[in-house]
């Protein structure tokens, strides 16, 4: 059974940095897609960033482009989201998502395309 384990959330002041990690167990995503969505209080879940393995590379939401960097460790079945220059509007619960499919670009932002989800980790950015 696939399990996505998230770590690294917490509290940080605006302008600071944090790193989120997601480790997958019970399955391999070496040909799939793995990344992050977030949901702020009272808002819908939104796409943040994903990594499409097997040559697809990283895809970012416009809101985080230039500030967040997603990377992956194939051997450890892990993706990491380095978040810099954090803003209060980045405050949300961040969810790791994964699918064994290498999603086409037009689908990476669609949460319905992902088969597995983590439990979520809270990020709070204070002004």
Write out pLDDT tens, residues 70-101: 999 888 889 999 999 999 999 999 999 999 98
Q: What is the pLDDT of residue 66?
A: 98
User: Tens digits of per-residue pLDDT, 100-122?
Assistant: 988 999 999 999 999 999 999 99
Q: Residue 93 and residue 91: Cα distance in Å, rounded?
A: 7
Please determine, for residue 65, whether its predicted confidence score (pLDDT) is greater than 90: yes
Nearest in space to 83 (alpha carbons), one of 38, 25, 41, 46? 38
Q: How far is CA 32 from CA 10, 14, 88, 94, 103, in A?
A: 28, 33, 31, 20, 7
pLDDT band at 30 (very low <50, low <70, confident <90, very high): confident
> What is the structure's pLDDT at 82?
98
95 phi and psi angles, rounded to 5 deg: -115, 135
Q: Are 49 and 60 in contact (CB under 8 A)?
A: yes
Site of tokens 């480790």 = 23
Question: What average pLDDT does the structure give for the chain?
Answer: 94
Tell the residue number behind the tokens 């917490």, with chain if given: 10
């Amino acid at each position: 059974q696939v399990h996505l384990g998230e770590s690294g959330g917490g509290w940080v002041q605006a302008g600071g940095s944090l790193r989120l990690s997601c480790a997958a167990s019970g399955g391999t995503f070496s040909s799939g897609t793995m990344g992050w969505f977030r949901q702020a209080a009272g808002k819908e879940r939104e796409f943040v960033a994903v990594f499409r393995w097997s040559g697809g590379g990283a895809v970012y939401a416009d809101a985080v482009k230039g500030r967040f960097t997603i990377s992956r460790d194939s051997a450890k079945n892990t993706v990491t989201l380095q978040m810099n220059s954090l803003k209060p509007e980045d405050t949300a619960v961040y969810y790791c998502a994964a699918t064994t499919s290498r999603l086409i670009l037009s689908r990476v932002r669609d949460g319905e395309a992902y088969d597995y989800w983590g439990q979520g980790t809270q990020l709070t950015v204070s002004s």
